[in-house]
A and B are shown apart, each in its own frame.
Chain A
C-alpha cells in the first residue's frame, strides 16, 4: 500500500512516464476525440432515424428497428467490435478506423434510439394533433414540432450516452488503435510502470466527461424558456 502511494506521488515517475511521453498522450487524446466525434455523429443520425421508426405504426419498419435495438443492447460491445473489426474488416480494405467507428456508432445508436423514442412519446400527443390540424404533413410535424422538443427533453440522457461513448471508445485500444488508453499501454510497456500512466489517462477522461456534462447543464438552463435547443 505504502509503495503504491509512494509511486503515485513520486515526481520522478511523473517526469519519466508522463512529461517524457506528452506527445504520445497528445496524439492519443486527439484520436480519442476524433473517433468519439465520428461515432457520435453516426450514432445521432442512426438514433434519430431508428427512434422515429420505433414510434411508427408500420409493423415492418417498427420490427426492423426493434430487432436492431435488441440485438445491440443484448450483446457485449467488445464482441460487436471484434465482429466489425475482424469479421467485416476486409470489406474496408486496410482502413482501421471505419469498422471501429461503425461498431461504436451502431452500438451507441441503439441506446440513442431508445432515448429518442421515449422523448418523442413524452411530447404530448396534443402537439402532434395540433401540428396536423394546421395542415402539416407527418414529416413536417415531426421535424418542426416534435423532434425539436424531444431533443431538448432528452438532452441530459443523450449527453450521458455520449459521455459513455467517449469512455467506451477506450475499448478500441484492444485493436491497436492509437487512442488515449492505448497511449497509456504503450507508456506502460516502455517504462514497466502501469499505475501512473493509467491514473493520468483516467484523469483526462474525467476532465472531458465532467466538462461535457457541465456544458450540457448550461445549455439546459439557457433553453428553458423555449423548451427547444
Chain B
C-alpha cells in the first residue's frame, strides 16, 4: 500500500529524513514513535505529498506520488486520509459540511447522497447530534472525531494520523482512540504517529522507532516493549513508560 525507498528530505541545510525505507501492506497498522523533532510529522506529510522530498521514492497504492505532476497530486491524495494533531477542521463549515465538502466538490457526489453518507460517518464516530455545530462549538475530542469522519468521507485506502490525541485533554483521549481502534478492526491501512503506548501495544501490527530522521528500530509490539534492541530505543522507552 505504501512503500518508501531511500527517502531523504532536507529543510534548507537541515536533513530531517535520512534514507527511510518502509513498507506498509494493505490492512496493516503501523505505529511510529520517536522523540519530538525526529521527523515523524515530516514523514507523514511526505507520504501525502504535502512536502516535497529531495531523494528516494514514495509509492502510495502503486503510484509514485512525488513523480506525479503537481497538478495531478490531488488525485493521489484522495486515496489518503489525514488526521492532524491540531484537528484543522474547516472553521467556516459545520461538522457535516466539513465531511461533505470534499465528496461534493472533489468527487462530484450530489449533495443529498453526500449528506446521507456524512451523517452515517458522524454516527460512526459517535456524534450524530453535532451535524450542524461549527468547529468552535465542539470540544477537542469531538473536533478530532469529526476530522476522522472527514478523512473517511473519500473512502481512503490509507489513513495517516499525526499525534491525533496529543492536543487533547486526558478525558477526551479515549473517545478518539476508540474510534481509531474500531477503524483498525475494519481492516483500514493505518500509519499512526502517537505516544499512546497502550494503543500501540493493543492495535499496532508493527512499531517503528524514529530518531534523528532515521528508522532506529522496527519490530512487533511485544518485543518492541519487552526486548528493544537499540540503546536509543531503550533510553526513549525508559523516559516515557
Contacts and interface: CB of A to CB of B under 8 A. Distances in A.
B151 interface: yes
A31 to B, nearest CB: 37
B238 interface: no
Nearest to B101: A144
Contacts of A228: 92
Contact of A136 (B71, B80, B102): B102
Contacts of A135: 74-75, 77-78, 102, 106-107, 154
B106 A136 contact: yes
Interface residues of B, number: 33
Contacts of B93: 226
Contact of A148 (B74, B80, B92): B92
A225 interface: yes
Contacts of B84: 126, 129-130, 133
20 contacts: A124-B88, A126-B86, A126-B88, A127-B91, A129-B82, A129-B84, A132-B50, A133-B81, A133-B84, A133-B151, A134-B106, A135-B75, A135-B106, A135-B154, A140-B106, A149-B91, A225-B137, A226-B93, A227-B92, A227-B134
A137 interface: yes
Interface in A117-146: 124, 126-127, 129-137, 140, 144-145
A187 to B, nearest CB: 48
A225 B86 CA distance: 20
Interface string B64-94: 0000000100110110111010101111111
Interface string A216-227: 000000000111
Interface of B: 45, 48, 50, 71, 74-75, 77-78, 80-82, 84, 86, 88-94, 101-102, 105-107, 134, 136-137, 147, 150-151, 153-154
Contacts, number: 76
A193 interface: no
Given A129-B88, A145-B90, A227-B136, A137 B71 contact: yes
Contacts of A225: 134, 136-137
A227 B153 CA distance: 23
Contacts of A131: 90
Contacts of A137: 71, 74
Interface of A: 124, 126-127, 129-137, 140, 144-145, 148-149, 152, 225-228
B89 A149 contact: no
Closest 4 CB pairs of A and B: A228-B92, A135-B78, A130-B88, A134-B102
A133 B151 CA distance: 8
A134 B109 CA distance: 14
Given A130-B90, A227-B91, A136 B136 contact: no
Contact of B92 (A124, A140, A149): A149
Contact of A133 (B48, B75, B86): B48
A127 B74 CA distance: 15
Contacts of B134: 225-227
Contacts of B136: 225, 227
A2 B115 CA distance: 72
Given A129-B50, A131-B90, A225-B136, 13 more contacts: A124-B88, A126-B88, A129-B88, A130-B88, A130-B147, A132-B77, A134-B81, A134-B151, A135-B107, A140-B106, A144-B105, A145-B92, A148-B92
A122 to B, nearest CB: 12
B92 A133 contact: no
B176 to A, nearest CB: 17
Contacts of B48: 133
B201 to A, nearest CB: 28
Contacts of B82: 129-130, 133
B187 to A, nearest CB: 22
A61 to B, nearest CB: 15
A89 B92 CA distance: 44
Nearest to B76: A135
A127 B150 CA distance: 13
